[in-house]
Amino acid sequence: MSTFKEISLPKGSVLFEIGAPADKLYLIQSGAIGMAGKDGKVFVTLRAGESFGEQAMLQGGIRGATAIATEDAVCHEITVDGLRDMLKTKSPVMIAIFEGLMLQQNMHNDLRAKQ
């Protein structure tokens, strides 16, 4: 996983804010990351093994939430270009499939945030 960069986040630190351009995906190795809406309230907490930031795979993606470490966390960061290169080596059709899945996940997240 040489395309992944390890990011350590102390509790309370903000990884990115709602509305910022999305250019990276994250996989949680340890700890917890909360996704907060415009009101600053955390609407979901993600833990080890979960991913977030999928809007980065969508053309012109922007952050739909603010990512805050709700406890000390370690994440793996991957750039859009790194992920696309990785997918291309497997099969060019994988990019279209992955983008479709990310769009579906983004819509699901929007619905969850509005509840």
Map out the domains of the chain with their CATH numbers: 4-114 (2.60.120.10)
d(CA 34, CA 26): 13
- pTM equals 0.74
Task: Give the torsion sign (CA, 58, 60, 61, 64).
Answer: negative
Tens of pLDDT along the chain (115 residues) come to: 456 799 999 999 999 999 998 888 899 999 999 999 999 999 999 999 888 887 766 666 788 899 999 999 999 998 877 777 777 776 666 666 666 766 666 666 666 656 5
Q: Which is it for strands 4-9 and 24-36: parallel, antiparallel or unpaired?
A: unpaired
- pLDDT, position 80: 78
